[in-house]
């Protein structure tokens, strides 16, 4: 139990209003009422409870609908933290009853913060750059989902009227600018066939820096495989150009967001610190910063690795289960960023390549070896963020991690 705080406020946040439950160190309820999403009333509550000593305000959602209470609490001098959703659900099972009410949730948040402070996570300190990155990252994620849905729609429509043509656009071919331009220009199989190979090839060459002859040949080979016209082909070919244009616009918006992120990170000290490490670029640095902020929430590199899900988990039960196993939990975005940067480092950094090759020689599979490298790099990233220092190439060969992931 953390006795440093005289009052712990649990705030179950909502769009138009919240429910606040304030507890003393011994569990006495000091406040338990609904609270509107209003700065004046939030400020009045926080300052009033501060008369009894230092106040900790805990929310279950630190972003969007929880942003105003956090800003007001910090402005009046309260400490701020948040209780992750998974920890909240596990803690709720410890309390009697199965009702789902705002009042019960607020009490559980406050009581969990009071009795199990290790479950809390810090909220990023006020940083205009990190706050802006969160907004842009959320928007980019929405754009990515919309792009995927639109591409799936194109695949579905092509499969409906001409499966052989859809098979030409396997992998990432469909999302290339050239294919989208062809669909937007000619609509579909009927329009492509009517234009003829020569005209389509000339158009493709005007839109591509590489010779598109092979792609065009495969398209017309697929067109010859089907002679029957499927019902609704005309309607589908009216829709395909519009969806292709939608995908192009979404890709353009994502490129614009990427440029805005890059501009924001140019003068952000921690971004330049991260990008000094081989394998970390603008997008990876942004993903890491969005996941862990300045890293001060983690006491050691091991805590950071566990949060990312790249630290091995010990499982022991008598003599039947004994060993270290890959973690299945963790922050997926952070884990992906660390994994991807480690994989890139094996191609551009001799030290990382040597470590990766050594793990492969020990019998580990590719992904396991990359995870081992990511875990080792996590130690370096933690030290770089903690000290604000740029990456320095090791002068001696590092020793392997004592607890390596199983292959």
Could you tell me if 156 and 36 lie in one domain? no
- Walk along the chain (407 residues) and give the pLDDT tens digit of each residue: 455 799 999 999 988 899 999 999 999 999 999 999 999 999 999 999 999 899 999 998 887 788 899 999 999 999 999 898 878 888 888 888 878 899 999 999 999 999 998 888 877 655 677 778 878 888 888 999 999 999 999 999 999 999 999 999 988 899 999 999 999 999 999 999 999 999 999 999 999 999 999 999 999 999 999 999 999 999 999 999 999 999 999 999 999 998 888 888 877 888 889 999 999 988 899 888 888 878 887 889 998 998 898 887 666 666 555 555 566 677 888 999 999 999 999 999 999 999 999 999 999 999 999 999 999 999 999 999 999 899 998 765 555 554 444 44
Could you tell me if 258 and 145 lie in one domain? yes
Which residue, 262, 284, 314, sits at the end of a domain?
262
Q: Does some domain include residue 403?
A: no
Could you tell me if 290 and 193 lie in one domain? no
Phi, psi of 350 (to 5 degrees): -60, -35
| Dist CA 99 CA 38 (whole Å) | 27
Q: Does some domain include residue 394?
A: no
- Nearest CA to 106 out of 8, 20, 16 is that of 20
| Dist CA 110 CA 161 (whole Å) | 58
The answer to whether residues 331 and 291 touch, using CB atoms and an 8 Å cutoff, is yes
Instruction: Look at residue 118 in the predicted model and tell me its pLDDT.
Output: 84
| Dist CA 21 CA 117 (whole Å) | 16
Which residue, 92, 123, 154, sits at the end of a domain?
123
Q: Does some domain include residue 227?
A: yes
- Nearest CA to 102 out of 27, 16, 20 is that of 20
| Dist CA 345 CA 277 (whole Å) | 9
| Dist CA 153 CA 21 (whole Å) | 47
Q: Does some domain include residue 128?
A: no
The answer to whether residues 13 and 101 touch, using CB atoms and an 8 Å cutoff, is no
Could you tell me if 181 and 114 lie in one domain? no
Distance from the Cα of residue 255 to its chain's centroid: 18
Could you tell me if 224 and 140 lie in one domain? yes
Give the H/E segment covering residue 276: none
CA angle 84, 44, 74 (to 5 degrees): 45
Instruction: Look at residue 407 in the predicted model and tell me its pLDDT.
Output: 41
Could you tell me if 157 and 115 lie in one domain? no
Instruction: Look at residue 21 in the predicted model and tell me its pLDDT.
Output: 95
Instruction: Look at residue 324 in the predicted model and tell me its pLDDT.
Output: 59
Could you tell me if 145 and 224 lie in one domain? yes
The answer to whether residues 359 and 368 touch, using CB atoms and an 8 Å cutoff, is yes
39 CB neighbour count, 10 Å cutoff: 13
Q: Does some domain include residue 1?
A: no
Could you tell me if 141 and 258 lie in one domain? yes
Q: Does some domain include residue 190?
A: yes
Could you tell me if 117 and 54 lie in one domain? yes
The answer to whether residues 329 and 306 touch, using CB atoms and an 8 Å cutoff, is no
Q: Does some domain include residue 48?
A: yes
61 CB neighbour count, 10 Å cutoff: 18
Write the CATH number for 184: 1.10.287
**Which class for 251: exposed (0-12), middle (13-18), buried (19 or more C-beta within 10 A)?**
middle
9: its two tokens: 């406020």
The answer to whether residues 162 and 188 touch, using CB atoms and an 8 Å cutoff, is yes
Could you tell me if 316 and 236 lie in one domain? no
| Dist CA 181 CA 136 (whole Å) | 27
| Dist CA 325 CA 187 (whole Å) | 51
Could you tell me if 302 and 340 lie in one domain? yes
Which residue, 70, 97, 123, sits at the end of a domain?
123
| Dist CA 375 CA 368 (whole Å) | 11
Tell me how far CA of residue 96 lies from CA of 90, 93, 100, in angstroms: 13, 7, 12
Could you tell me if 250 and 280 lie in one domain? no
- Strand-pairing partners, residue 313, are 325
Q: Does some domain include residue 182?
A: yes
Instruction: Look at residue 39 in the predicted model and tell me its pLDDT.
Output: 94
Q: Please give the residue range of the domain that contains residue 104.
A: 7-123
32 φ/ψ sector (left φ>0, alpha ψ -120 to 50, else beta)? beta
Instruction: Look at residue 333 in the predicted model and tell me its pLDDT.
Output: 85
Instruction: Look at residue 323 in the predicted model and tell me its pLDDT.
Output: 55
Domain count for the chain, please give it: 3
């Amino acid at each position: 139990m953390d006795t440093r705080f005289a009052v712990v406020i649990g705030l179950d946040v909502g769009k138009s209003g919240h429910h606040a439950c304030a507890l003393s160190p011994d569990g006495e309820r000091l406040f338990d009422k609904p609270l509107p999403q209003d700065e004046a009333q939030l400020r009045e509550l926080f300052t009033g409870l501060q008369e009894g000593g230092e106040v900790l305000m805990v929310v279950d959602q630190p972003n969007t609908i929880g942003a105003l209470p956090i800003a007001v609490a910090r402005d009046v001098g309260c400490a701020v933290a948040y209780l992750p959703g998974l920890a909240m659900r596990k803690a709720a099972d410890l309390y009697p009853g199965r009702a789902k009410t705002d009042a019960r949730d607020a009490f559980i948040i406050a009581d969990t913060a009071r009795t199990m402070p290790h479950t809390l996570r810090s909220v990023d300190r006020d940083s205009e750059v990190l706050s802006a990155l969160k907004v842009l990252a959320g928007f980019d994620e929405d754009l990515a989902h919309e792009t995927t849905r639109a591409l799936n729609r194109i695949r579905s429509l092509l499969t409906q009227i001409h499966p052989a043509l859809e098979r030409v656009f396997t992998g990432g071919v469909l999302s290339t600018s050239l294919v989208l331009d062809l669909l937007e220009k000619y609509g579909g199989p009927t329009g492509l066939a009517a234009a003829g190979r020569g005209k389509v090839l000339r158009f493709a060459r005007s839109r591509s820096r590489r010779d598109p002859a092979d792609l065009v040949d495969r398209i017309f080979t697929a067109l010859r495989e089907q002679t029957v016209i499927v019902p609704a082909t005309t309607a589908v070919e009216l829709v395909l150009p519009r969806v292709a244009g939608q995908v192009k616009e979404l890709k353009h918006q994502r490129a614009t967001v990427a440029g805005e992120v890059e501009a924001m990170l140019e003068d952000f000290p921690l971004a330049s610190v991260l990008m000094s490490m081989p394998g970390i670029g603008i997008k990876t640095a942004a993903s890491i910063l969005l996941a862990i902020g300045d890293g001060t929430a983690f006491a050691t590199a091991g805590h950071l690795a566990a949060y990312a899900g790249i630290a091995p988990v010990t499982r022991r039960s008598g003599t039947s289960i004994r060993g270290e196993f890959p973690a299945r939990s963790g922050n997926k975005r952070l884990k992906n960023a660390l994994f991807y940067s480690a994989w890139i480092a094996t191609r551009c950094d001799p030290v990382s390549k040597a470590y990766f090759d050594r793990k492969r020689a020990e019998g580990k599979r590719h992904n396991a070896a990359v995870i081992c490298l990511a875990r080792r790099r996590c130690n370096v990233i933690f030290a770089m963020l903690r000290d604000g220092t740029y990456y320095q190439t090791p002068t001696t060969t590092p020793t392997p991690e004592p607890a390596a992931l199983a292959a």
